Each structure stands twice: as C-alpha cells, then as structure tokens.
C-alpha cells in the first residue's frame, strides 16, 4: 500500500469541491497546504481530536522556581498547547517514585501568600501561559535534585511540502480530506454539498469518539452496604456520559 501524502489529501479535497483536481494549479496546492496546517493546528486545541498524550521528563534545578517551557527554553521542548498532568521525580530514591503535583490556576497562585518558600520538591506548579515560551512557576522551590514529568497533547499539522507523508491513526485521513474541503471552499466561492458537509461532520466526530476517555465517579466503600469485593467494585464506580 502506497503512503498517503499531503498532495493526496489536498487532491481529494479539490475533487470533493470541483470533481476534478486538475483544475487547480501549484499555487492552489500551496495555499491548501497552508489551510491544512492551520486546520490541524486548531485541532490540537480540541482535546478530543488529539490522539496521544506525550510523557516528557525534564530536569529541574535546585533553588530555581521559574522555568521557560518551549523550544530554546530552560525546559527545552516544543511548547505544548496545554499541560494535561504534571509530576515530579525526586532524585536519589530507589526505586524512582513519580509524585503527581497540582497544576494551579491564576486564582490558586494568587492565594499562595509566600511564593518563595523552599522545600524538598515541588507539590504544585503555576503555568503563566506566556507565548512563545510558557513560564512555569514551581512551589515550593526544590532544595534537592528532581525532575518534572509533563503529560502534554501530541501535536500535528506542520507539513513543509505537499510531498510530505501523512501518517495518522485510522480515520484521520478521511476527516482531514472532507474537513479541508469545507475549509477552503469559501476561497473559491464554492458551496459545499450537503453530502460533503455531512461526511466531514461524521468523520471528525468518529475520531473524537475514538479519543474520548470515560470519566468515572467513585464512592467511598464505607458508604456501600454489604456484598463481596465484586459487588463493592460494581457499586462504587459509575460511568459518566460524555
């Protein structure tokens, strides 16, 4: 099976609009690639279109509270759209222990009255949301060597040429092709058919459904009456619909 390329996706979108991709020239393909990148970058802001969460371990420095996160920053990695979860790993403990820490909101950080407190390792972090480098403030300030673990959404949508390979999980190529047709249609004054609109909607929702993680509520076992372990498990977990 031949690999799908950006050219293939764009050509498919053009055919959905005009029935013949040959009516579009090199500049049209270049502009469509820009639109494709822009569309996919927007998808990275939508939690359910992101198919993976990356785990990255980066070292913290003793006595340092504020770090810049992003390419070229003190925490050198591509700046993530958001941080899903965060942990610290203190050095010198065997086996290594990963300890979750809280990600603070603006009002949480405001309520930390003494921000220069020092302790063994941080228990919280306040991301300021700066761009292009996001500033992360750890609290308390670590007094021993440790690392931070960042759980961040995977990014996609940075194609450089129309010959770049398109490699995503099942369902993404179809969603990209139909939604790109919707994206670029206004540039050509073309009204997208209801069939294309419907498939674009369904295809994107299918990948959202695949990426959905169920949320469960749990009750304290002490509140449950009788039964064996299996009964307690079944009673203490309840599915919450998306």
pLDDT, tens digit (0-9, with 9 covering 90-100), for 28-78 = 999 999 999 999 999 999 888 999 999 999 999 999 999 999 999 999 999
Residue 189's pLDDT is 93
Between CA 180 and CA 210 the distance in angstroms is 20
Residue 229 has pLDDT above 80, yes or no: no
What proportion of the chain, given as a percentage, has pLDDT over 70?
Answer: 87
Residue boundaries of the structural domains of the chain: 6-49+155-211, 53-153
The CATH H-level superfamily of 6-49+155-211 is P22 tail accessory factor (Gp4) (1.10.3230.20)
What proportion of the chain, given as a percentage, has pLDDT over 90?
Answer: 74
The pLDDT-based confidence of 1 (bands split at 50, 70, 90) is very low
> pTM of the entire structure?
0.79
Tokens representing 198 are 């419907």
Tokens representing 217 are 């509520």
Between CA 99 and CA 202 the distance in angstroms is 40
pLDDT, tens digit (0-9, with 9 covering 90-100), for 179-226 = 999 999 999 999 999 999 999 999 999 999 988 776 666 666 666 555
> Which of 166, 168, 184 shows the shortest CA–CA distance to 13?
184
Between CA 117 and CA 111 the distance in angstroms is 14
**Three-state SS string across 20-57, please?**
CHHHCCHHHHHHHHHHHHHHHHHHCCCHHHCCCEEEEE
Pairwise pLDDT comparison (147 vs 223), residue with the higher score = 147
């Amino acid at each position: 099976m031949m690999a799908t390329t950006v050219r293939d996706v764009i050509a498919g979108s053009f055919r959905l609009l005009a029935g013949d991709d040959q009516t579009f020239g090199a500049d049209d393909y270049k502009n469509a690639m820009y639109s494709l990148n822009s569309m996919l970058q927007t998808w990275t802001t939508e939690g359910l279109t992101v198919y993976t969460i990356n785990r990255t371990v980066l070292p913290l420095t003793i006595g340092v509270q504020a770090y810049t996160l992003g390419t070229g920053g003190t925490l050198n990695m591509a700046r993530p759209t958001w941080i899903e979860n965060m942990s610290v790993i203190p050095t010198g403990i065997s086996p290594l222990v990963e300890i979750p820490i809280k990600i603070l909101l603006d009002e949480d950080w405001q309520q930390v009255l003494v921000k220069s407190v020092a302790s063994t390792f941080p228990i919280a972090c306040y991301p300021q949301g700066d761009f292009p480098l996001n500033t992360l403030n750890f609290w308390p300030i670590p007094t021993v060597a440790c690392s931070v673990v960042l759980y961040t959404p995977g990014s996609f949508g940075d194609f450089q040429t129309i010959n770049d390979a398109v490699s995503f999980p099942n369902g993404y190529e179809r969603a990209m092709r139909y939604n790109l047709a919707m994206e670029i249609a206004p540039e050509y004054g073309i009204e997208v058919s209801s069939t294309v609109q419907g498939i674009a909607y369904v295809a994107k929702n299918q990948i959202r459904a695949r990426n959905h993680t169920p949320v469960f509520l749990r009750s304290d076992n002490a509140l449950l009456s009788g039964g064996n372990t299996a009964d307690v498990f079944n009673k203490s977990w309840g599915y919450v619909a998306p």
